[in-house]
């Protein structure tokens, strides 16, 4: 093969065109490390912008005490309350104190019940995490296989039904779906509020080493009845929230799969005699997942917003439930703290999503 070896020199990357898309990258940093550092560098200012925005809106334009108590208290009483909460000091001082607090994990104290906002994260965060995970499981189980099905039968019966279904699911607010589920299932005695029966909850809260993750606690407690009870309570909220996200996943998977099925490398795989099933499964599906995962990162925000409504509907005592309670109580210091907390959660999850993208897509890794 001497001639080919000689001629092979012509298109070595070193002598080839030095454009970034045709040459292997010659960065000084490991590409994966560089990618993650860039993402991190982008996410930190993003979180800073968010918490600053919350501060500006709530403190500079608005005034939590005035907003909560205006009209109910005399002006001098309001001033007194403000001084108590330290809200009469210069804004810049307050701002730096607020930022410092966030760095220390201190998100302030509620007005109504003098609770540390960070305690809400500890006590109610697990419930929200649990609900989100259940909903994600439902969303994946519904969205991904059905999206594939719709793409494979493009413009034929299953596709039409599934697409209309996905739009319908999207059009129904999660609290309305929740309400319908309640209407449908309460007559059969299916639990439709709270995370577990009162007895289970009591037993678990007394148990040693409580994780606040109800399912885990029940398993650790070793009582199959309690595990079943917890799971039963989770079904309706998980379905309500999961369907919403599942509809989005379905459409995403469908569109991306349709586009990758037209890609040249899919035709190339067919031209190699690879079976159609394998073409879809091994070639189209994995590349189609890359944008799906990216968009999924953006869906986290939607999922969290949905969680607030779902928790309120099913009295699921997570962060969102607490938030809506404090909203009703007009406790805007609590609201500010919780909103800040959620901003941080959004930032951290979008970074985690970037890590997942890197794992799925070798173009990022190498």
Partner 1 sequence: MSITALRVPAVVRQSHGLQRFMLLFGFALMAMFIVVAVFAPWIAPYDFDAVRDAEGVRFGTQQAPSAAHWFGTTVGGHDVLSRVVFGARTAVEVILLAVVLSSLVGVPLGLVSGYLGGWLDRTLVLVMDALYSFPSLLLAIVVSIVLTGGQSSAFGGILAAAVSITVVFVPQYYRVVRNATLAVKSEPYVDAARVAGVRTPRILGRHVFSNVSQSLPVIATLNASEAILTLAGLGFLGFGIEPSAAAEWGYDLNKALPDAASGIWWTGTFPGLAIVLIVLGVTLVGESLNDILNPLLRTRGGDENDADEVAELVADDVPVQEARATADGERVAVLSLRDLSVSFRTDGAPVRAVREIGFDVAPGEVVAVVGESGSGKSVSSRAVMGLLPDTATVEGSAVLTTPGDEPRELIGARASDLRSVRGDEVSMVFQEPSTALNPVRTIGWQIVEGIRAHRDVSVAEARKRAVELLEMVGMPDPAERVDHYPHQLSGGQKQRVVIAMAIACDPDVIIADEPTTALDVTVQASILELLLSLRDRLGTAIVLITHNMGVVADVADRVVVMYRGSIVEQAPVDRLFAAPAHAYTRALLDAVPHLGRENGPSPVVDSEVVLDVDRLVVDFPGGFGRPTFRAVDDVSLQVRRGEVLGLVGESGSGKSTIGRTTVGLQQPTSGSVSVSGQQVSGVSDAKLRPQRRKFGFVFQDPAASLNPRMSVGDCLAEPLRTQTDLAEREVRAKVRQLLDDVQLPGDYEGRFPHELSGGQRQRVSLARALALDPDLLIADEPTSALDVSVQARVLEVFRELQERLQFACLFISHDLAVVDSLANRVAVLQHGRLVEVGPRADVLGSPQEEYTQRLIGAVPVPDPVEQRRRRAERSASL
**Per CB under 8 A, which region of 15-23, 82-90, 195-203, 233-241 contacts partner 1?**
15-23
Q: Which of 92, 104, 171, 198 is the binder for partner 1 (CB under 8 A)?
A: 171
Per-residue binding letters, 281-310, with partner 1 (x by CB under 8 A): -xx--xx--x-------x--xx-xx--xx-
CB of 183 to partner 1, least distance (A): 5
Which positions from 306 through 345 interact with partner 1, judged by CB under 8 A?
A: 308-309, 312-313, 323-324, 327-328, 330, 332, 335, 339, 342-343
Which positions from 41 through 100 interact with partner 1, judged by CB under 8 A?
A: 41, 45-47, 49-50, 53-54, 57-58, 61-62, 66-68, 70-71
Instruction: Identify which of residues 138 and 339 has a Cβ nearer to partner 1 in the complex.
Output: 339
Instruction: Identify which of residues 98 and 226 has a Cβ nearer to partner 1 in the complex.
Output: 98
H helix or E strand, kind and range, residue 152: helix 117-152
- List phi, psi (to 5°) of 223: -110, 110
* Nearest-angstrom CA–CA distance, 250 and 167: 10
Q: How many residues does the chain have?
A: 366
Axis crossing angle, helix 224-261 with helix 117-152, rounded to the nearest 10: 50
Contact between 125 and 319 (Cβ < 8 Å): yes
CB of 246 to partner 1, least distance (A): 16
Q: Which of 76, 104, 114, 155 is the binder for partner 1 (CB under 8 A)?
A: 155
Which positions from 103 through 142 interact with partner 1, judged by CB under 8 A?
A: none
* Nearest-angstrom CA–CA distance, 249 and 141: 10
Which positions from 181 through 200 interact with partner 1, judged by CB under 8 A?
A: 182-183, 186-187, 192-193
DSSP at 279: I
- List phi, psi (to 5°) of 288: -65, -25
CB atoms within 10 A of CB 150: 26
DSSP-derived 3-state class of residue 70: strand
Binding of partner 1 by 38 (CB under 8 A): yes
CB of 208 to partner 1, least distance (A): 34
Place of tokens 């968009």: 295
């Amino acid at each position: 093969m001497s001639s080919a070896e000689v001629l092979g020199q012509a298109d070595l990357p070193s002598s080839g065109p030095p454009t970034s898309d045709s040459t292997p990258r010659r960065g000084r940093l490991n590409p994966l490390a560089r990618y993650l550092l860039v993402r991190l560098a982008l996410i930190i200012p993003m979180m800073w912008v968010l918490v600053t925005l919350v501060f500006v809106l709530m403190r500079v334009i608005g005034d939590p005490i005035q907003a909560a108590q205006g009209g109910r208290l005399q002006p001098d009483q309001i001033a007194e309350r403000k001084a108590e909460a330290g809200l009469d000091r210069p804004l810049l001082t307050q701002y730096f104190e607020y930022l410092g607090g966030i760095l220390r994990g201190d998100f302030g104290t509620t007005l109504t019940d003098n609770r540390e906002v960070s305690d809400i994260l500890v006590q109610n965060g697990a419930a929200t995490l649990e609900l989100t995970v259940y909903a994600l499981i439902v969303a994946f189980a519904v969205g991904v296989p059905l999206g594939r099905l719709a793409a494979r039968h493009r413009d034929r019966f299953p596709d039409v039904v599934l697409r209309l279904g996905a739009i319908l699911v999207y059009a129904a607010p999660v609290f309305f779906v929740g309400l319908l589920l309640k209407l449908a299932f309460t007559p059969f005695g299916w639990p439709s509020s709270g995370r577990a029966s009162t007895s289970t909850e009591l037993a678990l809260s007394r148990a040693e080493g409580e994780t606040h993750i109800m399912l885990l606690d029940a398993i650790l407690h070793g009582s199959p009845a309690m595990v079943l009870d917890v799971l039963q309570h989770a079904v309706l909220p998980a379905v309500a929230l999961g369907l919403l996200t599942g509809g989005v996943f379905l459409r995403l998977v469908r569109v991306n799969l349709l586009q990758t099925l037209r890609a040249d490398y899919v035709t190339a795989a067919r031209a190699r005699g690879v079976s159609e099933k394998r073409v879809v499964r091994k070639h189209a599906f994995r590349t189609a997942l890359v944008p799906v995962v990216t968009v999924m990162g953006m869906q986290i925000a939607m999922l969290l917003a949905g969680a607030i409504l779902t928790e309120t509907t099913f009295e699921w005592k997570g962060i969102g439930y607490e938030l809506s309670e404090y909203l009703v109580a007009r406790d805007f210091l609590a609201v500010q703290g919780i909103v800040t907390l959620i901003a941080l959660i959004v930032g951290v999850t979008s970074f985690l999503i970037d890590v997942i993208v890197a794992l799925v897509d070798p173009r990022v890794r190498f």
